[in-house]
Each structure stands twice: as structure tokens, then as C-alpha cells.
Structure 1
Amino acid sequence: MTKTFGPETTTEDVLDGVDLRGKRILVTGVSAGLGVETARALAAHGAQVVGAARDLAKAEVATGLVRAEAANGGGLSLVELDLASLASVRRCADGLLADGRPFDVVIANAGVMATPFGHTTDGFETQFGTNHLGHFVLVNRIAGLMPAGARLVSLSSAGHRFADVDLDDPNFEHTPYVEFLGYGRSKTANILFAVEFDRRHRGRGVRATAVHPGVIQTELGRHVDPAEMAKATTDRPGFVWKTIPQGAATSVWAGVVAAGDAVGGHYCEDCHVAEISNDPTVRGGVQPYALDPERAQALWAKSEAMVGEQFSA
């Protein structure tokens, strides 16, 4: 019998009866929130999880529950990764390549939201550089460790509705900086990256999808004024808060439960593939520009130019 999932579905609902023994899964951002819950759920069902985090000491403490609940051969190891530094990203990728063991799933979970204007170590606007370019380099560098049947899950957000990517001014050198405008650009980039990665790799059986976890109270919102967040959420039609296990459910579902052909090249929310919609009165859906294949290819080329590295399919 096919299970029906929705906004209130949790990671345990998604993984009920699922055995992940023998699976190896990379999850970025395991020092708090969704990353920790994603790692916990996967390890509890037998997966060997490699968790990436900028602050390893913090991640060691945060992932205590992951190790405590690991079962059926599941476990957790940690690697250092600062997505705001391409030197760190490349060191992390080099270490994973040297290890040589494949990944069945890569969940690009880490990110920042609505940060004050600033730049990464390499001079990129903080949100675009961290949320998109850091993962762009990491995932492409380790793509050879993803065999046929593997999957990339790129965490985006309904915040992609705030803005399309700006390929002419990605670093806000000529555009007035607005925190959620920058966030929207980076979240659209997360979707477009999945679209193009899927196009480039599906011929060898590797698929990619983007997901919206929902709106959850985690450390991601530390730069947002609580009153502003309250107004922004209550003004949205059909808005609901999610718990962390509910928020991580779509990542887990898209990574290890849903069929690759069903989610590949798409944007998912509430454990289903979202419909294309630019209607602001509708709670769900994905903006058409975020799935535009030509836009995805243009972003890929711009990203390669920005990081000074080219990646073949």
C-alpha cells in the first residue's frame, strides 16, 4: 500500500519500515537543527552518515543523539567544512576523494539566511557564496564518488520566491542589498543547481532534486528580528510552523524513499513534488524561473567562472 505523506509527516513516518543498512550518506550542516535530525534519522535506520560542519567541536556535542540512536549498523563520522571558504571546501572534497568510499546520497543541507551584508573568504556575497557556491564546488568535486543510483538533495526554500538569481550582479556590487533578496537569490540558485546537475548526471543514473523543508524555528533564523519573522509568516496564506522532525522529512523522503525518476530535476515540499505556480496566494509551489533549464545552464557557467573551476558531466 502506498503511504500518503504531507506537511505533518516526520522523518520517522517517512522511514517507517525502511532499512538503510549499507547506505553511505553525506549531510552538510550537522551542528544544529535540520542537519542533526536528518543525520539522526538516517543513522537510526542503518545508514553510515558522514556529517560535515564548520565547527567540529559544536558538531560533536550536537550529534551526541545521532550516535546514541544509531542502529542496525548505522553510525556517524564528522568532517570539517566551511562553505564560506573555497579552500576549506576543496580540502574537504580532497579528503573524501582520498578516502574513496562512495556516497549513495548527498544532502546539501547547510546554509545561512538573511545575513547582514558581507562577503565570504573569497569575496562572494555571503548568502550566495555560502548557500550556493560552496555546495556547487563540493558536490561537483565529489560527483565521481556518486555511483549509478545515487542522489543529490539540495535544500532550497519557499524563500526562492523572493528573487530569481541575478547573473549580472551576484555580489550586489550595483544592487542595493536587502537581506531576504539575497536569501531568495541563493535559494533559487539551489534549485537551479539541482536542475542542471540532474541533467548532466541522469544519463549515468545519478539524479538530483531540490527541497523546501518548511518554516522551522532553528538557528537559521538567528539574523532575523522575531517581530519581522512573525509578521512575514502570519501574513502568508496557509502558513504553518513545522517541527524539526517534520522539517527534515522532505529531505529524507527525497533522498532515500521517493523514486529517482519522480523527483529528479524537480522541487519538492511536504514529501511530494511541488506544482509550478507563481500565485502568491497559494501556500506551496515553485516559481517557473527556478526550474528553467536555460537559466540553470547559465547559472552553472557563471558559477564556474566565479570559482575558477570547470566541471564536466
Structure 2
Amino acid sequence: MTNGFGATSTTDDVLAGIDLSGKRVLITGVSAGLGVETARALAAHGAQVVGAARDLAKAERATNEVRAQAANGGGFEMVELNLASLESVRACADALLADGRRFDAVIANAGVMRTPFGHTADGFETQFGTNHLGHFVLANRIASLIVPGGRLVNVASSGHRYSDVDLDDPNFERTPYDPMIAYGRSKTANILFAVEFDQRHKARGVRAIALHPGGIQTELDRHMAPGELENLVAQINAQLGAAGRPPFQFKTIPQGAATSVWAAFVAPAEEVGGRYCENSQVSQITDALISPVSPGVRSYALDPEHAKALWAKSEELVGERF
């Protein structure tokens, strides 16, 4: 699919001329970075945005501009959500269900990256538990609130290339812990979750999409040691240079959030449902990647049988059937 958008397109580029008045959106992770920009862009085009955050005071400070730029009936409100606690996730879902207002899009944006080895409140490895299982329970519990024609958008990452999910040892009980492998597992899970959610809900007109926002310097890299990010970029550029490719460039935050708003409201549903996207385009499946930042998605991340198996394992881990 070619639409004229690319790596440098911003949220305002992809939403140009689009009126989202009357649309309602839930976005997780609105206390910094991509979540704030996604909320700002959608509210500025008329959407009613519900932002979910663990630290409401921090999110309140971070989202002043979201409220300031809301236009055409757009608005912003917040709900409390700690994805590393299923008690918090279920309380958030219960509150949204009790409120009863529907959503045109749910954007699962929040996440952690390369954390030291640890566990969520429920005993899951931190990255898998937060990035995948928290969103798995939230999205499934409020699935009935997504209107026909609505979408679930999972913000994944090219980091999925570092590892497939490990359904036999999801919590690194027998595997030596590596923060990037753990991140890769969680991001692959985000994609597989979208694949199976799409399969289960597309008959009623609800589609699910996973995406890579691009390399952006946000709070997500806060667990990296001094100099670690610079060394990683140097390695990537060496790989790209050896292949005759131009060096890696970070995106701005408005460029990074562009694919989220594009996937939620601009892209044709039949072209993106159950797919993985980047640079406001559908990505091609490729297992022969030049570097971690080369375009493309690993085949294991879109495998439908693999997605079903992850779904079943996730239900087992959280103790709920959806």
C-alpha cells in the first residue's frame, strides 16, 4: 500500500483535513513521549481522548498541551492504570465498563524497555507482564466497548526481531535473563495479540493492528546504562554501512506517533487489520534483515497458529478466559 506517507511524516501530516469530532479514544501511557503526542494530535482534530497512566500527577503535568490544543469538540480526561498490576488493570476496565461510553479506538501505547530483571505485582517478568499481559487483560475486558468499525492499535517495536515469545518459559525461570531478549519477547507478543484479536473480532467490524513507531529518544530508554544507546546506534550504523545503506536517524516524537494515529483513523481497515505497520505503511514479512532497524516484520510475529497459542498461554497466566 502506497499512501504518500513515510518515515518523516508527522501526526499532523497524516491527520491533515480529518475531523475526528464525535470520536472517542483510549490511549495508555499518556505521561510522556508518544502517548502525549498521540493524545494531542487526536484531541486537536476533535476526538475525545481518555488517557490512562500509572502516575496521574505526572500525566497531568505532561498533558497541559493536550488540553490547550483540543479543538472542534475535542477533549481530554484521565484514568488510573498500572499495567504491572492486574488488580489495577481490572479496576480500570471495570470503571470504563461502568461508565459505558464506547471507544472508536484503543491505542495500547504504554510500555517499558530493557528493564533489570524483576517481576510485576502478579509475579510475571516485568517486560512481558507490563507490555503484553497488562494490555491483554485490559483490551479483552473492554472489547465490548469498541464500536463496530473501531480498532485496537498495539504499539509494538522492531525490537520484536530480538526474540520470539517463549511459551514454555515466559518468566525466565530457566532461561538466563537478557533485557533485550525480554523486550523482544514482549514486543512479539504485542504483535501476536493483535493478530488473534483481529481474527476474533473482525466479523463485527473491529480490527486490530500492531506497529513500530520508529526509533525515538523518549523515556523508554531510561533503563539503559550511560553510553549504551550510543554504542547500539554505532553497531547499527556499522551494519547499515556494510550493506551500503544510509545511517540510522532518530525520529521526532510527532514522526514517531504518526503511525499510531494513521493506524487508528486513516488507514483502510481491510488493509491493516491483523498486520504490522511502520512509517504509516504496511510492513513486508522478511526474516533476512540487515539490521535491527531495517524495515520488515519477522514471520513468527504474524503466524496465526502462534498467535492462538500465545492467547491460550496468556489466559492461563492471568487466570481469565476471553
Q: CA deviation at 1:306?
A: 0.1
Please give the alpha-carbon distance, in whole angstroms, between the structure 2 residues aligned to 1:233 and 1:290.
Answer: 24
Greater CA drift, 226-235 or 179-188: 226-235
Letter matched to residue 196 of structure 1: E
What's the counterpart of residue 54 of structure 1? 54
Please give the alpha-carbon distance, in whole angstroms, between the structure 1 residues aligned to 2:179 and 2:81.
Answer: 24
What's the counterpart of residue 298 of structure 2? 287
Q: CA deviation at 1:76?
A: 0.3
Letter matched to residue 280 of structure 1: L
Please give the alpha-carbon distance, in whole angstroms, between the structure 1 residues aligned to 2:234 and 2:8.
Answer: 18
Note the alpha carbon deviations across 1:121-178, whole angstroms, 9 max, x for none.
0000000000000000000000000121000000100000000000000000000000
Equivalent of 2:310 in 299, 303, 306: 299
Q: CA deviation at 1:3?
A: 4.7
Q: CA deviation at 1:228?
A: 1.8
What's the counterpart of residue 88 of structure 1? 88
Q: CA RMSD in A?
A: 0.9
Counterparts of 1:93-172 in structure 2, within 5 Å, are 93-172=93-172
Equivalent of 2:256 in 231, 247, 251: 247
SS at match of 2:107: strand
SS at match of 1:242: coil
* TM-score, with length taken from structure 2: 0.95
Please give the alpha-carbon distance, in whole angstroms, between the structure 2 residues aligned to 1:15 and 1:303.
Answer: 35
Q: CA deviation at 1:278?
A: 1.2
* TM-score, with length taken from structure 1: 0.98
SS at match of 2:222: helix
Note the alpha carbon deviations across 1:196-242, whole angstroms, 9 max, x for none.
00000001100000000001110010001242212222322252210
What's the counterpart of residue 244 of structure 2? none
Counterparts of 1:1-313 in structure 2, within 5 Å, are 3-236=3-236, 237=240, 238-281=247-290, 283-311=294-322
Please give the alpha-carbon distance, in whole angstroms, between the structure 1 residues aligned to 2:108 and 2:208.
Answer: 11
Give the length in aligned residue pairs: 310
Q: Alignment identity in percent?
A: 70
Question: Are the counterparts in 1 of residues 29 and 51 from structure 2 also a CA contact under 8 Å?
Answer: yes
Q: Which runs of 5+ in 1 are unaligned?
A: none
